[in-house]
Amino acid sequence: MPSKRPHHGTTATPRRSVLASAAALFGWVGRAAGIFAAAITLILTASVLLGIVLRAIAIDNSWTYDLDNFALIWLAFLGAAYTGYRGAHVTSGISLEHLLGRGAIMLVVVRFVIVAGFLGVFIYSGYQQFHSSWMFNEKTLDIVQWPVWVAKLALPVGGIAWLAAEIHKLLALLGGQRPTSAEPAD
């Protein structure tokens, strides 16, 4: 015989379902940033080790220096996006948001507006730098002549991924859920 007691927390309004779906979509971007950051970490490690070996046997390895720099730039910006997705960035609002509990939604929204505004300016500026480098065909000075726009593309891509992570957290909270990104890492 079915229970007549209401199931608390199992009813989902259409608005909450839409917010949860949108949060999941933006959360995917945050997880992807983490996967790419991990892959770039492996590339950076291999490149540094290769540079050390080549230097030890007196083979020109100036190209590994640029690869290291490019990988480090990408790692910094995708890593920042993933850190934002995991909720591990330290902000002034974190302690207040946790202290005030559910009544802190206004603080969360204000924090989001400030961070999103910063990221909007950052993305625009990064895109301008990337576009300028692309148009002027900037290259590194080593033998490989890496296109500099590859490194500068990390700015708008990382900024967009970080903004997606912030949107994920906001939509999850507005939908009444704890962001999946706030779960402990495996």
* Count of C-beta atoms within a 10 Å radius of residue 47: 21
Given a cut of 50, whether residue 77 has pLDDT beyond it is: yes
- Closest CA relative to residue 51, chosen from 38, 43, 60: 60
Q: How far is CA 93 from CA 8, 18, 40, 53, in A?
A: 30, 27, 31, 46
What pLDDT was estimated at residue 182?
Answer: 54
Given a cut of 70, whether residue 183 has pLDDT beyond it is: no
Q: What confidence category does residue 50 fall into, taking pLDDT thresholds of 50, 70 and 90?
A: very high
Whether the CB-CB separation of 156 and 123 falls below 8 Å is answered with: yes
**Over residues 32-53, mean pLDDT:** 92
| Sheet strands (E) in the chain | none
CA distance 141 to 172: 46
CA distance 185 to 82: 12
Q: Which of 10-24, 106-120, 154-168 has the lowest mean pLDDT?
A: 10-24
In this predicted model, what pLDDT tens digit does every residue of 160-178 receive, in sequence order?
999 998 888 888 887 776 6
**Over residues 115-130, mean pLDDT:** 95
CA distance 113 to 4: 43
What pLDDT was estimated at residue 44?
Answer: 94
What pLDDT was estimated at residue 53?
Answer: 92
**Over residues 119-133, mean pLDDT:** 96
Q: What confidence category does residue 97 fall into, taking pLDDT thresholds of 50, 70 and 90?
A: low
Type of residue numbered 47: S
Q: How far is CA 38 from CA 11, 83, 114, 182, in A?
A: 38, 12, 28, 19
